[in-house]
Structure 1
Amino acid sequence: MKLKKWMILLVVGLLLGILAACSGDDAEETSGEKEPSSEGKEEAAADGEKVLSFINPETIPSMDSSLATDESSFIYLAATTEGLYRLDENAKPVEGIAKKHEVSDDGLTWTFHLREDAKWQNGDPVTAHDFVYAWQRAVNPDTGSEYGPYMMNGVIKNATSISSGEKSVDELGAKAEDDYTLVVELENPTPYFESLTTFGTFFPLNQKFVEEQGDKYATSSDALLANGPYKMADWESTSSSWTLEKNEDYWDADAVKMSQLKFEVVKDPQTAVDLYESGVVDRVDLTSDLVDQYATNEDYVISPDTFVYFMKYNQTTNEALANKNIRNAMNRAFDKQALVDQILNNGSIVANGLIPADFTPMPESGEDFREVSGDLSTYNVEEAQELWKKGLEELGTDSVELELLTDDDETTKTMVQYLANQLSTNLEGLTINLKQVPKEQRLDLDDNMDYELQVSRWGPDFLDPFTFMNLWTTESGNNKMGYSNAKYDELVGDTATKLATDNPARYENFLEAEKILFEDAAIAPLYQASLAQLVSPKVKGVHVNPFGATYEYKWADVGTE
């Protein structure tokens, strides 16, 4: 499917969702099914205010734009913070804090002209200095940001040297020419840089406020400062509920129709559906066992997604996982078609590669990248068992025991039980022990490489294969599994340097690199997500992006049911 058709799908308005769930200190309350109260909703409606209520499947891991790494965090950062640009309903960048920009002939210097009517929640003006500070903070190794180096290294001048401690942060290629002119120097021409500026890591920060808050910054709504469509209320880092309130100080406040958007963490799928049917919430995700029951409901929608789920192999913690034959055997030992058809039952499709289907077309032919690259990791029990036998012989053993780290939401629990059963059934001598934890804990364990196997996922941050391929380079902050292949590094690295202005050549490199990734069995692709939901017909103007923050709430509205 070509990009134009994908954009049409977005305009049609299928709402994407979030699959993985986690809980904080309030998890016991929510898993015990504390119901969101409809009382406040009714009062707001009586006052003529517009209110929508949604379920979030997890607490928000971080509201610090330098430290956020997950889908939920970026959704609420995008709702409360404005970057240089914001994605519209067609996933095209439109005016944010920047009114316009110019690019030098060599593609290396971008000059952004900022609006002078943008304010922070405390009344301070939003200036070019706020962007410079935020970007420097994101690549400063003392910050410990994962996304800062991932998004900026090799893109913004000197970011790589700064994040590795070789240069000081004030040498970053981002300067405030004056309060309302931001000049950015790039390491290499980056045609998609405009779309990068819509992403949370590139959002501005009010330096005085951040430094005054110190360690408390972004741990509660009182320790946050909004400059976007909404401001966060009633939130702490462990909160199981929170509210987005319209930010009257937002420069484009007239475009924001909603008074409040309320969110509650509910982990039990049946409880969530009960809340929807009683009118307490306006959107709910359906697990596979509920799909058949509600598939004929007039509010039922299936939403395609560009998130790809996969199993990571940590090659540093277990001798067996350092063995290529063992990894290749496991990649082929589970039936993915049965997984999506019977276990997930929500429109998800089999993933036999890394780059999702219907995400990006080839530059010249317009063919979908996934179609051209083909199936690189498929289910084949006979091949799996032959490779497994070779691997065991090389290890000098007849059995392997592994621990599989996963999130603890209900859908993931069902899915990984199936996955573990398939692997242990089809590969004699393999034992899989499940370790299911809240998402925030899984992210910490991943960051510390404290796992053996892990079910993870990735959604694109910008519209280019690089957003997926750069994950597995040796120095990537997202690698976290000890994988390294010099040829892979070279191919991916060249797409951002010497081939930066030759898109056809870049895509050929991506094709070759993806093949290497699965020849090495670095990861095991599982599926490309879709989501079955019930969405109230009164929910209007909530659109989704094929990259970046999943939900865009700026233009949300309440329509006639």
Structure 2
Amino acid sequence: MKKSKWSLLLVLGLVLSLFLAACSGGDDGGDTSDDAADDSQDSSEEGSSEEVEQTFNLLNGDTIPTMDSSMATDEFAFQFLGATMEGLYRVKDGEIVEGIAKDHTVSEDGLTWTFELREDAKWSNGDPVTAHDFVYAWRRAVNPDTGSEYGPYMMGGVIKNATEVNNGDVPVEELGVSADGDYKLVVDLANPTPYFESLATFGTFLPLNKDFVEEQGDAYATSTDTLLFNGPFTLDNWESTASSWELNKNPEYWDAETVKLEKQTYQVVKDPQTAVNLYEEGEADRAGLSSDLVDQYSTHDDYTVTPEMTVFYLKMNQTRNEALANVNVRRAISRAFDKQGIVDTILNNGSMVANGLVPEDFYQHPETGEDFRSINGDLVTYDPEQAKEYWEQGLEELGTDSVELEFLAGDSETAKSMNEFIVNELESNLPGLDLTLVQVPFEQRLDADTNMDYDIQFAGWGPDYMDPYTWLNLWLTDGGNNKMGYSNEEYDELVESTKNTTDMVARMEAFLEAEKILFEDAAIAPVYQSARAQLISPKVENVYSNSFGPTYEYKWAEAVAAE
């Protein structure tokens, strides 16, 4: 994602402090959120849903900033949109399953996708969900008058004329989406997009009821009363500043028979210790653990670690300081800090060292099934001796014996520990390097990134859809998320070539080669792939953790009797 959706970290406020840009993350949140929950806990077959109240009591790391699918950019918004709304498809345990669309066909050239919609889907006010609702929502998302951030980002270069509409060059009616009757949606793409099915699960592509949205005007999506739902649950007792709310089973949902949960209650809790206290008291069914609590609870029966698809890295701005324009300086920095020490000591939550960009267990070769990360292997590792060699070569090329740089990072307590560790490692292993640590609130770092007003900064990204393009398009020349002056023509050509073919093997090879170039150029310095540690009640079952889209899926969840 563009600006953090994900509160994917386990440490309270870690995303707030570390996560500059990412698809499923938000600038706040963390381990106290319901989004810090695990897939499920096993239960005995004797545990019957009939014997247990079908209610989860859950915690959230912060308020929900918006429930307008055109304006959502963070994980909390997308999580609750995913629970209360339904698009063409849903994501279940990383697999794409039917939603409003029953099926689809793709033209031979890969440019026209035709979706057959079910006729029994309804909005919570009883109106039918139709193809016109998708057309209206998608047009609204790219209409420049709407001011959506994710509309042009997710649809630009994918749906025909999305960029042109957003730039004001053509009318919104020329966006490549149309209704063929009430229950057939036709989508014309700008380029063949093999991953469009997974992209269509994303929150920006949800339908909207035009009459209702326009009747609400500026008040739309600011409270329960100004929302409609077509998903498994309804959002109740909510307004934009609410610190508590609830989800209730939606009786109008087309597949309501599948939904076992009757209710989920939420309260905002930002402190991990408070969350754990509520869990111990039986007032919460989940609690995320910050690193200092992991040692205390790692032997607890309910302790669980869940891997995530978010990768964190150092961005190195090649335009603000001439030293970072030198590839050997960047190569030195990439190898000069102990990543294992970070994940073992500071995070202590199951996170893994990252030595590439595309995360482990995210994408497999279409022919061999081998994992992307396994194929490309470790592209940059901690190696202080090699780092010094690159450093000395870079200083010689610059004609200096010292370099002064600023390190931009977050300001939470955990972030401060990590920032200080990295700065100390870099200065110790690279003689002559003088780093000034600048620790600021999340929104201030966003501004600095947008204005490229930094030297080195800590950032992260989580996937928007199941394809390596979600990672590798970040570093295209002048790309909206690049913001560090990186440019490599060969890299651009490889990544762009994946948009013009449906040959999945050729796309995979291009992605693999592009990632290698990224690290030959030392454009970024990977740090770790995140995980989260939490306590989960044995009553929680069938809550699926997704590698893209809403972080968690509750449609199939249920409360079961503990052994």
What range is the shorter-chain TM-score in? Answer: 0.7 to 0.9
- Aligned residue in 2 for 1:354: 357
Partner of 2:253: 250
Q: Cα distance 1:265–1:314, how it changes in 2: closer, same or farther (>3 A)?
A: farther
Displacement, 1:395? 7.4
| 2: CA distance, partners of 1:165 / 1:520 | 36
Aligned to 2:468: 465
Distance 1:420 1:264 in 2: 37
Corresponding residue of 2:380 = 377
- Structure 1 residues 463-482: Cα deviation after superposition (integer angstroms, max 9, x where no partner): 22111111221243332333
Match of 2:81 in 1: 77
Aligned to 1:194: 197
Corresponding residue for 1:454? 457
Kindly state the Cα deviation for residue 306 of structure 1 after the two structures are TM-superposed: 1.6
CA distance in 1, matches of 2:87, 2:160: 20
CA apart distance, 1:149: 3.1
Question: What is the percentage of aligned positions where both structures have the same residue?
Answer: 61
- Measure how far apart 1:513 and its partner are: 0.8
Residues in 1 aligned to 2:321 and 2:265: alpha-carbon distance in whole angstroms: 44
C-alpha spacing 1:227/1:339, structure 2 compared with 1 (3 Å)? same
SS in 2 for 1:341: helix
Give the secondary-structure state (helix, strand or coil) at the position aligned to 1:59.
Answer: coil
1:506-552 Cα deviation digits (max 9, x unpaired):
11111111112122222221111122211100011211112221111
Summarize the alignment of residues 116-155 of structure 1 with structure 2, pairs less than 5 Å apart. Answer: 116-155=119-158
- In structure 2, the partner of 1:65 is 69
Aligned residue among 416, 419, 422 for 1:419: 422
**Contact preservation (8 Å) 2:406, 2:454:** no
Matched residue SS, 1:178: coil
Would you say 1:405 and 2:377 are equivalent positions? Answer: no
Number of residues paired by the alignment?
Answer: 522
Q: Which has the higher contact order (CA 8 A, sep 6+)?
A: 2
- Is 1:272–2:281 an aligned residue pair? no
| 1:548 and 2:549 matched | yes
1:148-204 Cα offsets, whole Å, 9 max, x none, are: 233223322222333444333211111011222111112333332222211111111
Q: Where does 1:102-501 land on structure 2 (aligned, <5 Å)?
A: 102-392=105-395, 394=398, 398-406=402-410, 408-427=411-430, 428-438=432-442, 442-443=445-446, 446-447=449-450, 449=452, 451-497=454-500, 500-501=501-502
Relative distance call for 1:544 and 1:175 in structure 2 (3 A) is: same
Letter of the structure 2 residue corresponding to residue 474 of structure 1: T
SS of corresponding position for 1:245: strand
For residue 38 of structure 1, what is the aligned residue in structure 2?
none
Q: Relative to 1, partners in 2 of residues 1:409 and 1:117: Cα closer, same or farther, differing over 3 Å?
A: farther
Cα distance in 2 for residues equivalent to 1:405 and 1:395: 29
Describe the SS at the equivalent of 1:510.
helix
Structure 2 counterpart SS, 1:496: coil
Question: What are the Cα deviations for residues 258-281 of structure 1, in whole angstroms up to 9, with x where unaligned?
Answer: 232222332322222122111111
Partner residue in 2 for 1:537? 538
Decide whether aligned partners of structure 1 residues 489 and 236 sit closer, same or farther in structure 2, where only a CA change above 3 A counts. farther
Q: Distance in 2 between matches of 1:342 and 1:423?
A: 17
Distance 1:123 1:458 in 2: 38
The match for 1:507 is 508
Q: Structure 1 98/409 Cα, relative in aligned 2: closer, same or farther at 3 Å?
A: farther
Q: Secondary structure, in 3 states, of the residue corresponding to 2:498?
A: helix
* Structure 2 partner of 1:10: none
Q: Post-superposition shift, 1:444?
A: 5.5
- Asked if structure 1 preserves the Cα contact closer than 8 Å seen for 2:339 and 2:353, the reply is yes
Alpha-carbon deviations, 1:427-446, whole Å to 9, x = none? 333223242425x6655654
Task: Render the CA deviation track for 1:280-307: whole Å, top value 9, x for unaligned.
Answer: 1111122222222212111111112221
- Cα RMSD of the aligned pairs, angstroms, is 2.8
Q: Distance in 2 between matches of 1:61 and 1:524?
A: 31
Aligned partners of 2:68 and 2:231: how far apart in 1?
15
Q: Secondary structure at the match of 1:276?
A: helix
Does residue 560 in structure 1 map to residue 561 in structure 2?
Answer: yes
Other structure's SS at 2:180 match:
strand
Residue 226 and residue 102 in structure 1: after superposition, are their counterparts in 2 closer, same or farther (change >3 A)?
Answer: same
Distance 1:60 1:160, change over 3 A: same
Where structure 2 has 5 or more consecutive residues not aligned to the other structure, the ranges are 1-7, 18-28, 33-48
1: CA distance, partners of 2:317 / 2:236: 39
CA contact (8 A) 1:146 1:478 kept: no
1:52 aligns to 2:53 (yes or no): no
SS at match of 1:272: helix
Deviations 1:484-504 (A, max 9, x none): 22221111010111xx22111
Report what 1:101 is aligned to.
104
1:302–1:531 Cα contact (<8 Å) kept: yes
When residues 496 and 533 of structure 1 are mapped into structure 2, their CA distance, relative to the original with a 3 A threshold, is same
Question: Per-residue deviation at 1:333?
Answer: 1.5
Deviation of residue 320 (structure 1)? 4.1
Structure 2: how far apart are the matches of 1:424 and 1:68?
40
Shift of 1:380: 1.8
Separation in structure 2 between the aligned mates of residue 337 and residue 161 of structure 1, nearest angstrom: 46
Q: Is the 8 A contact 2:318 2:485 kept in 1?
A: yes
Aligned-pair distance for 1:243?
2.2
Task: Specify whether residues 292 and 491 from structure 1 end up closer, same or farther in structure 2 by C-alpha distance, changes over 3 A only.
Answer: same
Distance in 2, matches of 1:412 and 1:255, equals 42
Do the aligned partners of 2:316 and 2:455 also contact (CA within 8 Å) in 1?
Answer: yes
Question: How far does the alpha carbon of each residue in 1:240-265 deviate from its partner, in whole angstroms, 9 at most, with x for none?
Answer: 33322322322222322223222233
Cα distance in structure 1, aligned partners of 2:448 and 2:238: 25
Residue 318 of structure 1, CA deviation? 4.3
Task: For residue 60 of structure 1, report the CA deviation from its aligned partner.
Answer: 3.1
Which contiguous aligned blocks of 4+ residues in structure 1 show a shift greater than 6 angstroms?
Answer: none
